[in-house]
């Protein structure tokens, strides 16, 4: 028996993919490890895999994510319900929601419990392939905001975006690197520009 799931794990090279620990689930699923040594945009990589996937649920995550077997099944089940989900996302005006958070700590924006979010962080995303969602390769031709854009596509169609309770995390060592931050601001600006005419208010992690 198998999960109707295709999971794409992307790392910058083979070395980074060695960090990935495959969830040991009793049920089989399709998994592809992709070393992005050519520096292709994440949107293109995601769309290529999404178009080729014969499975009902699509998942994509960074190699420095940690997803337990139980968490993988949770993400799969939530996606099957017609929702978009992932490890961490942004609750507007409140902070970041993490799937593994167990309590709220005043002043710490990453401590919010699981729940609905405006957008997911680009580190992970799961959704049903029949929802018609895809990555915008033209606008997001780099490494940032391609997942957030899919979340806004979903929200515009009345599809809920959530962070479910699950034993999973994302390390994100490069987040505070100045070059990373500069590149992120560029694509965050593109995201704002793309959705400004819709009147949709949103926040990102």
Q: pLDDT tens-digit profile of 26-52?
A: 778 999 999 999 999 999 999 999 999
Q: Is 204 part of any domain?
A: no
How confident is the model at residue 94, as a pLDDT?
A: 87
Does residue 25 belong to any structural domain of this protein?
A: yes
Instruction: Go through 191-204 and write b for each residue having 16 or more CB atoms within 10 A of its CB, e for each that does not.
Output: beeebeeeeeebbb
Count how many domains the chain has: 1
pLDDT tens-place string over residues 77-129: 999 999 999 999 999 988 899 998 766 656 555 567 899 999 999 999 999 99
pLDDT at 145 over 70: yes
For residue 64, the enclosing domain spans 2-198
**Is 39 inside a domain boundary?**
yes
Q: Is residue 205 part of a domain?
A: no
Assigned domain for 115 exists:
yes
Contacts of 153 by beta carbon, 8 Å cutoff, 6+ apart: 133
Judge whether 203 lies within some domain.
no
**Looking at the domain assignment, is residue 111 inside a domain?**
yes
- Using alpha carbons, list the distances in angstroms from residue 69 to 36, 66, 100: 25, 10, 14
Report the CATH number that the domain containing residue 80 is assigned in CATH.
3.90.550.10
pLDDT tens digits, one per residue of 151-169? 999 999 999 999 999 999 9
d(Cα 86, Cα 165) in Å, to the nearest integer?
Answer: 10
């Amino acid at each position: 028996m198998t999960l109707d799931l295709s999971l794409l794990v992307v790392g910058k090279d083979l070395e980074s993919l060695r960090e990935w620990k495959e969830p040991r689930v009793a049920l089989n699923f399709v998994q592809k490890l992709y070393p992005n040594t050519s520096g292709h945009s994440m949107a293109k990589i995601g769309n290529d895999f999404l178009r080729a996937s014969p499975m009902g649920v699509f998942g994509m995550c960074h190699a420095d994510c940690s997803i337990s077997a139980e968490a993988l099944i949770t993400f799969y089940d939530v996606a099957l319900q017609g929702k978009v989900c992932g490890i961490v996302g942004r609750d507007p005006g409140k902070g970041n929601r993490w799937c593994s958070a167990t309590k709220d700590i005043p002043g710490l924006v990453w401590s919010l419990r699981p729940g609905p979010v405006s957008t997911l962080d680009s580190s992970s995303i799961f959704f049903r392939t029949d929802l018609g969602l895809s990555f915008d390769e033209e606008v997001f031709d780099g490494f940032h905001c391609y997942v957030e854009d899919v979340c806004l596509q979903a929200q515009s169609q009345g599809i809920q975006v959530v962070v479910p309770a699950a034993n999973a995390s994302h390390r994100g060592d490069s987040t505070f690197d100045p070059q990373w931050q500069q590149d992120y601001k560029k694509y965050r600006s593109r995201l704002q520009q793309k959705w400004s005419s819709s009147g949709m208010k949103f926040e990102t992690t």
